[in-house]
């Protein structure tokens, strides 16, 4: 990102409820909303990449965005990211893109194809995490929501310090990287990563936290 406050920010969520929660926060921040475009691109990394690429291309005539933010609800690794809290990505990791063998999982980058993670600007991501009182660490992108304690333990072992998982960050980051636009990922925790208990998801609480985060973000990014 160029020095100073970003002139244009693209925020990509998965679903409309997340988009509306982000927009409500930006509206509460007052005026900053005009520099922000918020789109709901769909669930999963493929929809996220396609939607981000489309939105970036559409915005090019007004000038290339300075920053792309992947945002929404997510699963939190407890105890570091409990339900209702926020998580900000230090790295955005494609946690299930690769090959599963008898010896375990090999990430796609180790297979010699592409990359397995994106690194947001370190100073900026840390600054945003601190300002939002968010957990800070790797945020995993998965194609399949974790639903067992065994899978959660496997992910934690492979990605020490992981704070959250969701389904879009890596797709958003891949699209942003094509235009060399820096990326952040901000997640509001709706559920714990672990044994599947859909009834325990606190989506309303997470959306409220997401709104609060985007009420603060313009101030953190420089008004
Ligand atoms: O209940 C299910 O089985 C289920 C399966 C696929 C998707 C969903 C969603 O509700 C997706 C919405 C959205 O939420 C993010 N999210 C929230 N918690 C998690 C999680 O623990 N692991 C991964 N993603 C999560 C995700 O980014 C989706 O876009 C429900």
* 145 Cβ inside 6 Å of ligand 1: yes
Alpha-carbon span 182 to 68, nearest angstrom: 6
* 47 Cβ inside 6 Å of ligand 1: no
- Residue nearest atom 16 of ligand 1, based on CA coordinates: 74
* 74 Cβ inside 6 Å of ligand 1: yes
- Comparing C-alpha atoms, which of 71, 217, 77 is closest to residue 152? 77
Name the H helices within the chain.
16-29, 45-59, 122-131, 149-158, 169-178, 203-220
DSSP 8-class letter at 40: E
pLDDT at res. 223:
65
pLDDT at res. 2:
46
- Residue nearest atom 20 of ligand 1, based on CA coordinates: 75
* pLDDT tens column, 158-196: 999 999 999 999 999 999 999 999 999 999 999 999 999
* pLDDT tens column, 95-125: 999 999 898 999 999 999 999 999 999 999 9
* 34-51: average pLDDT: 96
Q: Give the residue extent of every domain in the chain.
A: 9-221
Q: How many whole angstroms from 144 Cα to the centroid of ligand 1?
A: 8
State the CB neighbour count (10 A cutoff) for residue 115: 15
pLDDT at res. 32:
66
- Residue nearest atom 23 of ligand 1, based on CA coordinates: 166
Q: How many whole angstroms from 145 Cα to the centroid of ligand 1?
A: 6
- Determine the 3-state secondary structure of 127 from DSSP: helix
Instruction: Reply yes or no on whether the pLDDT at 1 is more than 90.
Output: no
**Phi, psi (degrees; rounded to nearest 5) at 14:** -85, -55
Q: Which CATH architecture has domain 9-221?
A: 3-Layer(aba) Sandwich (3.40)
Omega of the bond leading into 79 within 30 degrees of 0 (cis): yes
Report residue 85 as tokens: 């809290």
Percent of the chain with pLDDT over 70: 96
**Mean pLDDT for the chain?**
95
* 26-49: average pLDDT: 91
Q: In Å, how far are 12, 42, 215, 223 from 207, measured between CA atoms?
A: 15, 16, 12, 23
């Amino acid at each position: 990102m160029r020095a100073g406050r970003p002139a244009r920010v693209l925020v990509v969520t998965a679903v409309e409820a997340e988009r509306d929660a982000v927009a409500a926060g930006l509206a509460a921040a007052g005026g900053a909303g005009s520099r922000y475009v918020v789109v709901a691109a769909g669930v999963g990394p493929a929809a996220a990449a396609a939607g981000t690429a489309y939105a970036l291309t559409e915005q090019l005539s007004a000038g290339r965005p300075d920053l792309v933010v992947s945002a929404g609800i997510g699963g939190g690794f407890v105890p570091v990211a409990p339900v209702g809290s926020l998580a900000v990505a230090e790295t955005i990791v494609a946690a299930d893109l690769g090959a599963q063998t008898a010896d375990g999982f090999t990430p796609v980058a180790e297979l010699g194809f592409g990359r397995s993670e994106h690194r947001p600007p370190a100073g900026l991501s840390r600054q945003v995490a601190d300002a939002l009182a968010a957990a800070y660490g790797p945020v995993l992108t998965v194609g399949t929501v974790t639903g067992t304690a065994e899978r959660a333990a496997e992910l934690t072992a492979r990605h020490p310090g992981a704070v959250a998982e969701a389904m879009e960050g890596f797709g958003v980051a891949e699209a942003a990287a094509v235009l060399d636009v820096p990326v952040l990922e901000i997640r509001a925790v709706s559920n714990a990563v672990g044994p599947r208990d859909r009834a325990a998801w606190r989506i309303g609480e997470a959306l409220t936290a997401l709104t609060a985060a985007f009420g603060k973000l313009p101030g953190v990014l420089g008004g």
